[in-house]
């Protein structure tokens, strides 16, 4: 009869050998988790909390890509076989730490790659997790320049940083006639909005326009105070960086106090239903910054024939017009699709496959309904797609947006200076 | 150098903002004084009232102000129906009745917020009104936004009506007797359940109606409630727990502090200054800024 400690020794040796084999296989890039016949994309986005509107928009964008490629092409073709795309979501709860947990959850679930969250705050916490786990990550909706300044190797973004969007939209607005001589810049005190406000201020300073004031304040402030201070400075234009709720509060307070500069420029989301529903009668004539609207003149390309075709498909699927965040999120999926085709590796992806995918993404050029996507390599915008052209839009009386700048992209004339509140 | 025009406008902004807070603080203070319920659902009543305004106003020619009577009646009925449930969990042999009330109203708040999110989604909604738009410019003084002015008048009027009811009617006397000593009030033959339902119904009606005004001033958003719950707490502590006249002072202090801090110090410092004020008041005068409320213990 064998002695008890011999049994234990044999058992420990077996376990050790098995663990070593698995560990070495992992280090050597052998295998990528359990066998699957689908590409598993882990999507981190805010399905609850303050950012759930944007989180939902992002989700729609990712789903539009996955549903369309699965339905129309049977998935992604690899070596003659097609593999469907499966997008699994984890809720970031509008909270950076929950976003980091959600990213870890998706990585542990064996995702081949990550689709990123809505909002810069959450993205800034997901990028380090992707980096630590060497996990490819493309976000379709984050604009803070801080994300790209960190130089992460595994994170990419399809929407240009707001340093560029805010700056270019402001420059286009400052070129309208009569040219403004002064601006008042405000923003909400959080990374995306601050970066937006800074980009607007920089554009004004570069154009030689007087910046009467630059101020950041909390999201839940009473905007009559912001407006009173601005009204006292009497600027030609008011530039504001924030999310939709703060835009609504600002124009509401402006209308109550009769504060009527020649125009308000807001970023982000003046062409969304959320802004129009919230601002109501105050919404028309607002200027906004975007990189995509359905009427923009861009060629189609992979998966959708044109911006309008994408908008129609989104409208049919969800009953509402898509904005540039939704389009950018769909474009993120399309970029993955083209990169995975080039990688030519069946799911699940090994670590070597994922590392190779990063190299492919750095060199990729994809022509989409959203615009041409390529990623910067090196510099302050490392891995950000900064090629998509910024558009200055203005809402008409019926709430529909018209591209009014820059000149080469404009599809209509601006209503500028905008009428005073009591003349509308 | 201080710009006089800006200074007076900040005073106007602060006073009118305080008036908006008074509309919430009155009912909240009444509920605490009479029922001894610290109601976590106060902000959600504001939010639901605002959404009722957004939904019903289009049926009345896009006039939010016409919705007010309906909201008053509906919220009074709902409050009168909810109060017995609160009474049930805060009385009897249950330990920690105050905590039970907090838990119940916290659950109610979560339910209301979740219900609105489910029905309307996360987007903000406009509460339209063409009657209360724009502002009245007073030369040499500043601009009075119409909707904020009307809201402040509504809040102060609500306070005056409640004060009249409490101090000049038999029903009010009964409610004050209940607030003084529930057992003795019952021995005097006062129908406690009935008057508590009236008080809570009145509180809910005032708070829901305030929600319509707040929706017209800002907009209706599913996440707006928490802010007003926090401000309601601020106001009752500053006013003195359960002391109604102190609500006006508390509202003015809250509004003016917000306005002056935002413009002359920083928008980011507002909450810091507000909590510093609360801290000092609790240290120096736990019975509120006028020293006439219950001690905050």
Report pLDDT digits (tens) over A149-166.
Answer: 999 999 999 999 999 999
CB burial readout B95-109, b (16+ within 10 A) else e: eeeeebbbebbeebb
H helix or E strand, kind and range, residue A358: helix A351-363
Contact (CB, 8 A) for B16 and B257: no
**Closest by CA position to A203, among listed A243, A163, A235:** A163
Quick: pLDDT tens for B203-235: 999 999 999 999 999 889 888 998 899 888 888
> What are the start-end ranges of the H helices in A137-190?
145-149, 162-174
How many residue pairs bridge chain A and chain B with CB atoms within 8 Å of each other? 111
The per-residue pLDDT of chain A, averaged, comes to: 90
- How far, in Å, CA of A169 to CA of A223, rounded? 24
Structure confidence at residue A105 (pLDDT): 94
- Give the distance, in angstroms, between the CA of residue B297 and the centroid of all CA atoms in the same chain: 22
Q: Is the pLDDT assigned to residue B295 strictly greater than 70?
A: no
Is the CB of B218 less than 8 angstroms away from the CB of A252? Answer: yes
Name the minimum distance, in Å, from the CA of A252 to any CA of chain B: 7
pLDDT band at B34 (very low <50, low <70, confident <90, very high): confident
What is chain B's Cα-based Rg? 19
CA-based nearest residue in chain B for residue A214: B266
Quick: pLDDT tens for B57-110: 999 988 999 999 999 999 999 999 999 998 888 877 777 777 888 889 999 999
Contact (CB, 8 A) for A369 and A307: yes
Is the CB of A256 less than 8 angstroms away from the CB of B125? Answer: no
The answer to whether residue A380 neighbours chain B at the CB level (below 8 Å) is: no
The answer to whether residue A197 neighbours chain B at the CB level (below 8 Å) is: no
Q: Is A343 helix (H, G, I), strand (E, B) or coil?
A: helix
For CA atoms A292, A294, A299, A300, the dihedral sign is positive
Phi, psi (degrees; rounded to nearest 5) at A100: -65, -40
For CA atoms A172, A173, A179, A185, the dihedral sign is negative
Structure confidence at residue B193 (pLDDT): 87
The answer to whether residue B221 neighbours chain A at the CB level (below 8 Å) is: yes
Is the CB of B17 less than 8 angstroms away from the CB of A224? Answer: yes
Structure confidence at residue B246 (pLDDT): 87
Residues of chain A falling short of pLDDT 70:
1-34
Structure confidence at residue B252 (pLDDT): 92
Quick: pLDDT tens for B156-214: 898 888 889 888 999 989 988 888 888 888 898 999 889 989 989 999 999 999 999 99
Phi, psi (degrees; rounded to nearest 5) at B245: -60, -25
Contact (CB, 8 A) for B69 and B52: no
SS3 sequence of A274-293: HHHHHHHHHCCCCEEEECCC
The answer to whether residue B6 neighbours chain A at the CB level (below 8 Å) is: yes
- Give the distance, in angstroms, between the CA of residue A342 and the centroid of all CA atoms in the same chain: 24
Structure confidence at residue B297 (pLDDT): 52
The answer to whether residue B270 neighbours chain A at the CB level (below 8 Å) is: yes
Give the length of chain A: 424
The residues, ordered by sequence, that sit 6+ positions from B26 with a Cβ below 8 Å of its Cβ are B155, B158, B159, B162, B206, B244, B247
Residues of chain B contacting A218 with CB distance shorter than 8 Å: 267-268, 270-271
pLDDT band at B1 (very low <50, low <70, confident <90, very high): low
Q: Which of A50, A222, A232 sits opposite B6 (nearest CB)?
A: A232
Q: Is the pLDDT assigned to residue B296 strictly greater than 50?
A: yes
- How far, in Å, CA of B74 to CA of B132, rounded? 23
Phi, psi (degrees; rounded to nearest 5) at A270: -70, -20
Contact (CB, 8 A) for A310 and A322: yes
pLDDT band at B242 (very low <50, low <70, confident <90, very high): confident
How many angstroms separate the first and last alpha carbons of chain B? 43
H helix or E strand, kind and range, residue A12: helix A4-27
Tokens 């554009």 belong to A203
Q: Which of B122, B134, B259 sits opposite A256 (nearest CB)?
A: B134
Mutate to test the interface with B, among A220, A222, A258 (most CBs of B within 10 A): A222
Token pair recorded at residue A149: 């300044």
Q: Which DSSP letter does residue B169 get?
A: S
Is the CB of A217 less than 8 angstroms away from the CB of B266? Answer: yes
Maximum pairwise Cα distance, chain A: 101
Structure confidence at residue B124 (pLDDT): 83
Is the CB of B258 less than 8 angstroms away from the CB of A222? Answer: yes
Contact (CB, 8 A) for A366 and A137: no
The residue ranking higher by pLDDT, B10 or B294, is B10
Contact (CB, 8 A) for A82 and A76: yes
pLDDT over 70 for what percent of chain B? Answer: 98
The answer to whether residue A419 neighbours chain B at the CB level (below 8 Å) is: no
Cα A269 to Cα A272, A365, A411, distances in angstroms = 5, 27, 19
- How far, in Å, CA of B119 to CA of B55, rounded? 12
Q: Is the pLDDT assigned to residue B28 strictly greater than 90?
A: no
3-state helix, strand, coil in chain A (%, to 5): 45, 20, 35
- How far, in Å, CA of A324 to CA of B39, rounded? 42
**Closest by CA position to B53, among listed B209, B227, B157, B201:** B209
- How far, in Å, CA of B186 to CA of A86, rounded? 66
Structure confidence at residue A101 (pLDDT): 95
CA-based nearest residue in chain B for residue A53: B122
Residues of chain A contacting B17 with CB distance shorter than 8 Å: 222, 224
Structure confidence at residue A25 (pLDDT): 42
């Amino acid at each position: 009869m064998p002695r008890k400690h011999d049994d234990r020794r044999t058992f420990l040796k077996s376990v050790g050998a098995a663990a070593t084999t698995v560990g070495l296989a992992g280090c050597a890039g052998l295998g990528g988790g359990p066998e699957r016949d689908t590409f598993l994309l882990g999507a981190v986005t805010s399905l609850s909390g303050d950012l759930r509107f944007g989180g939902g928009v992002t989700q729609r964008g990712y789903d539009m890509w996955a549903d369309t490629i699965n339905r129309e092409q049977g998935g992604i073709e690899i070596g003659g076989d097609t593999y469907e795309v499966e997008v699994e979501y984890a809720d970031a709860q509008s909270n950076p730490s929950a976003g980091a947990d959600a990213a870890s959850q998706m990585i542990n679930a064996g995702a081949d790659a990550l689709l990123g969250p809505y909002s810069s705050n959450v993205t800034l916490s997901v990028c380090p997790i992707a980096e630590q786990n060497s996990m490819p990550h493309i976000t379709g909706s984050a604009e803070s320049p801080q994300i790209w300044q960190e130089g992460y190797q595994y994170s990419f973004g399809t929407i240009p940083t707001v340093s560029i969007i805010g700056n270019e939209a402001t420059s286009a607005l400052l070129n309208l006639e009569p040219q403004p001589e002064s601006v008042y810049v405000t923003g909400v005190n959080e990374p995306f909005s601050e970066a937006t406000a800074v980009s607007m201020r920089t554009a004004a300073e570069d154009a030689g326009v007087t910046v009467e004031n630059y101020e950041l304040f909390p999201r839940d402030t009473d905007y009559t105070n912001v407006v009173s201070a601005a009204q006292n400075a009497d600027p030609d234009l008011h530039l504001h960086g924030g999310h939709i709720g703060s835009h609504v509060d600002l124009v509401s307070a402006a209308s109550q106090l009769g504060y009527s500069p020649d125009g308000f420029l807001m970023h982000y989301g003046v062409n969304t239903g959320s802004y129009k529903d919230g601002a109501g009668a105050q919404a028309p004539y607002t200027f906004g910054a975007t990189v995509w609207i359905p009427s923009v003149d861009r060629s189609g390309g992979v998966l959708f024939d044109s911006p309008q075709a994408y908008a129609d498909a989104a409208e049919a699927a969800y009953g509402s017009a898509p904005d540039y965040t939704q389009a950018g999120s769909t474009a993120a999926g399309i970029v993955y699709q083209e990169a995975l085709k080039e990688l030519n590796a069946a799911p699940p992806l090994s670590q070597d496959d994922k590392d190779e995918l990063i190299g492919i993404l750095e060199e990729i050029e994809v022509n989409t309904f959203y615009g041409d996507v390529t990623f910067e390599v090196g510099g302050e915008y490392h891995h950000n797609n900064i090629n998509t052209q910024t558009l200055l839009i203005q809402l008409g009386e019926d709430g529909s947006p018209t591209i009014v700048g820059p000149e080469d992209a404009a599809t209509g004339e601006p209503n500028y200076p905008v009428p005073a509140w009591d003349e509308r | 150098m201080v710009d006089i025009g800006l200074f007076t406008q900040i005073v106007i902004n602060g006073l009118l903002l305080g008036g908006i807070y008074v509309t919430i603080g009155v009912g909240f203070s009444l509920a605490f004084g009479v029922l001894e319920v610290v109601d976590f659902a106060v902000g959600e009543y504001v939010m639901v009232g605002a959404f009722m305004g957004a939904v019903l106003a289009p049926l009345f020619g896009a006039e939010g102000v016409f919705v007010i009577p309906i909201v008053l009646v509906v919220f009074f009925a709902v409050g009168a129906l909810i109060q017995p449930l609160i009474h049930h969990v805060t009385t009897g042999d249950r330990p920690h009745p105050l905590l039970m009330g907090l838990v119940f109203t916290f659950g109610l708040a979560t339910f209301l917020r979740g219900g609105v999110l489910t029905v309307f989604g996360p987007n903000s909604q406009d509460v339209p009104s063409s009657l209360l738009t724009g502002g009245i410019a007073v030369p040499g003084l500043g601009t009075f936004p119409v909707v904020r002015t009307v809201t402040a008048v509504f809040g102060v009027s609500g306070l005056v009506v409640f004060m009249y009811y409490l101090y000049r009617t038999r029903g009010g006397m009964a409610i004050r007797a209940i607030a003084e000593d529930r057992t003795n009030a019952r021995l005097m033959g006062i129908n406690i359940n009935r008057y508590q339902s009236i008080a809570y119904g009145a509180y809910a009606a005032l708070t829901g109606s305030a929600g319509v005004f707040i929706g017209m001033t800002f907009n209706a958003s599913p996440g707006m409630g928490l802010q007003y719950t926090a401000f309601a707490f601020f106001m009752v502590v500053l006013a003195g727990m359960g002391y109604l006249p102190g609500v006006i002072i508390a509202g003015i202090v809250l509004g003016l502090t917000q306005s002056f801090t935002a413009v002359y110090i920083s928008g980011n410092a507002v909450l810091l200054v507000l909590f510093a004020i609360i801290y000092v008041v609790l240290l120096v005068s736990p019975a509120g800024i006028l020293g006439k409320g219950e001690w905050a213990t």
